[in-house]
Structure formats: structure tokens, C-alpha cells
Structure 1
Amino acid sequence: MSDTPTTARRFLFLNASTRVPGVMGNTEALARTAAAALPSGIEQQWLRLADHPLPPFVDHRHDIGTYPLPEGAGRLLLDATLAATDLVLVAPVYWYSLPASVKLYLDHFSAWMRVPGLDFKARMAGRRLWLVTTSGDRAKAQPMIDSTRLCAEFLGMQWQGALWGKGGAPEAIRADETALTEATRWFEGV
């Protein structure tokens, strides 16, 4: 596992939608609109968390204290995370919070920080964390946005903010012209 050179930008989009495969949700549609505006030389990797389920997180911080390198989906997500310069959580608001798949992914950071020699937290410092989300109204997304910002701060990541759009029924985002316009400029300066 090697870090990506600092001059090369590599975006990892983690889609946390629970819609059935093949049905694009509002949050993914908003994220793909934003990603389409990225310069052509910037690498993008898209992973759907439901396609790479993680095992339940078991907290061994205060008994065993260390963790082995993960295997399977955990290793795939760890490697993709460390290879990215920019981590984009594509996460609709569920019950005022992050979807369970993103929360579980973040829980596994606690293990990755305790893999001997991995230096996960130090390696995440300076990378950029972005959030794309949709919900019925913006105020209901704020707890999730705050939680994601706090995760970035804890890891020493650069918090890039949240792109929010009006979600709900499938295709609802298409009526939110403000969010779609903002999406086309969201990654400006990258």
C-alpha cells in the first residue's frame, strides 16, 4: 500500500445509497453531476458500499489494542481510501444521520488506526473530505453534515463542505436547479 503522490488528484466516491442496484438515487445523481465537471485528467473511482459490505465493527481498543490488516471488502475499502487524495461521501440523509454503511465504514477507521505500521490517521491528514447529500429539507441534513465535518477534523483532513440538494422521491433532484447548478461548480479549482 503506497500513498498517491501529492501532485496527482484521485477522487474516491463512496455511494451509500440503499436503493436497488441499477436505480440511481437523488444523491448519486447530484454527485455524478458534480463529478462530470472534474477535469478530464483527474482519476475517479466509484464504489457502492452495499456491494462491498463490511463485517460488524468489534471494538478492541481497550482489550487487545491492535487489529490485523483487514481482508476482503475491508481491504478493498482501505486500499481505495489510502489511494485517494479526495474522499467524497455520497450519502443521502437517513434519520438525520449518515446511512448505516457509511457509519460502519467510519467505525472501521478505528481499527485501521490501530493496525501496526499502517499509520492510517497520519496518512489521512491533509487529504480532502467532501460530502454530497440530499434530503427533504436542508435543516434535517445539518446533524449529518456536522458529524462528517468533525470526522474530517479528527483525522486532520481538509473539510471541503457539503453539497446539498432537495431529495425525496426518485428524480426529485432534477427539480432542484440551484443544487444542480452548484454541482457543476462544486469542484472548481481542483
Structure 2
Amino acid sequence: MPSHHLFLLASTREPGNLGNTETLARRAAAQLPADAQQTWLRLADFTLAPFVDLRHTAGSYPAPTGDMARLLDATLACTDLVLVAPVYWYSFPANLKTYLDHWSAWMRVPGVDFKARMAEKTMHVVTTSGDRAKAQPMLDSAQLCAAFLGMRFGGALWGKGGPPGAVDADAAALAAADSFFASAK
């Protein structure tokens, strides 16, 4: 069965301004097999409701609607979830953190079986930051999220961030992008 990679773009750059992280992700994606399906979603284009924790009061959650339902459906449809997230203050951008928070609800929507279905998937992270050490807390968090759901962690691709185009001068990151998904198998 061909793979289906869902690329969740978490940058908050203005639309039309290709950032370093997306540049690196698109280079890695260009190396996927021709039959690999790719879905690219920009989280900034979605209305992400704040997560409300009902675990200890209601116990279960209603099925999501609107943009949250679209994100759930896209998440469940992929074989590989690729978090394309520049490092913001040593962590995920707020829109990606909100998406991840909703996993707590999706695990409790009757009939979705979210945790078991996620265990069949692989998570990858593509990120950029000023230096690799600043990305580590975010990468650790992603790996813990994957482990909690029993997902395979396909690894992290890191490149030098900063102003647009900075990653183009990071020869090591560009070379790593060319084999990133092949090495994740």
C-alpha cells in the first residue's frame, strides 16, 4: 500500500512567504516515491478552538465539527504524520500545540478509536531554529506524544533557521532532507 504523508504546516509566517521549515520539508517530500500521497495543510488556515478538558467531568467528547473534524479526518487518513514546525520559544508553535491538545478529546470520542488508529502511523518532525540545542525540547515533546499513542517515531530533520532563505545555506540539512524519509523506513 502506498504511503500517505500528512504535512501539518505550523509556521505563522504571512501566507505566500515560504519559511525555512517548509522549504526543508518540501525538499524532503520531493524525494518520496511517486506513488506516495501527500497532503499539505497549513494550520493557520484552520479555526482551532481552544481545547477544553472534559475528561474528569463529561468523560467523553462529542465528535468534532468544522475545521477540527477536517483535521481529525486528515490525521486518521494518513500513514505518516509530518509536523512541520519551526521552533518558537523552545517549543511548538501555538497552533500545533492546540492541534495536539485536541488529541486528548479525539481519544475520547465514541467510535473513533483514535489511540489504536494512531498506533499504526509514523510521526516525523521537520524543524528549524537558531541552533539544534534550542529544538531539543520540542523534539522531545513530539517523541513523547508519539510514544504515548504507540506511534513509530520516524525521526527529526533539523536545519538552520532565521530569516527566510537561511536554510538554503545549510548544506548538512539539505543533504539530510534528501534522504530523510528513506532513512525513516
**TM-score using structure 2 length:** 0.98
5+ long unaligned stretches in structure 2: none
One of 140, 146, 162 as aligned partner of 2:140: 146
| Cα distance in structure 2, aligned partners of 1:130 and 1:97 | 16
One of 111, 117, 127 as aligned partner of 1:123: 117
Shift of 1:126: 2.6
Structure 2 match to 1:177: 171
Structure 1 match to 2:22: 28
Shift of 1:83: 0.2
One of 81, 86, 89 as aligned partner of 1:92: 86
SS of residue matched to 2:35: coil
Structure 2 match to 1:45: 39
SS of residue matched to 2:25: helix
* Cα shift readout 1:93-119 (whole Å, capped 9, x = no counterpart): 000001101100000000000001111
Letter in 2 for 1:59: D
| Cα distance in structure 1, aligned partners of 2:177 and 2:22 | 12
**2:145 aligned with 1:165:** no
Structure 2 match to 1:77: 71
Structure 2 match to 1:155: 149
Please tell me whether the aligned partners of residues 2 and 35 of structure 2 are also in contact (alpha carbons under 8 angstroms): no
Shift of 1:52: 1.0
Letter in 1 for 2:108: R
| Cα distance in structure 1, aligned partners of 2:111 and 2:177 | 38
Please tell me whether the aligned partners of residues 10 and 86 of structure 2 are also in contact (alpha carbons under 8 angstroms): yes
Shift of 1:183: 0.1
* Cα shift readout 1:10-33 (whole Å, capped 9, x = no counterpart): 000000000000100000000000
CA RMSD of aligned residues (A): 0.8
| Cα distance in structure 2, aligned partners of 1:18 and 1:62 | 33
SS of residue matched to 2:96: helix
| Cα distance in structure 1, aligned partners of 2:5 and 2:47 | 21
**2:3 aligned with 1:9:** yes
Letter in 2 for 1:15: L
Please tell me whether the aligned partners of residues 159 and 170 of structure 2 are also in contact (alpha carbons under 8 angstroms): yes
| Cα distance in structure 1, aligned partners of 2:2 and 2:121 | 12
| Cα distance in structure 1, aligned partners of 2:109 and 2:21 | 33
Shift of 1:84: 0.2
Moved over 6 A (4+): none
One of 42, 49, 61 as aligned partner of 1:67: 61
**2:106 aligned with 1:112:** yes
Structure 2 match to 1:132: 126
**TM-score using structure 1 length:** 0.95
Letter in 2 for 1:97: S
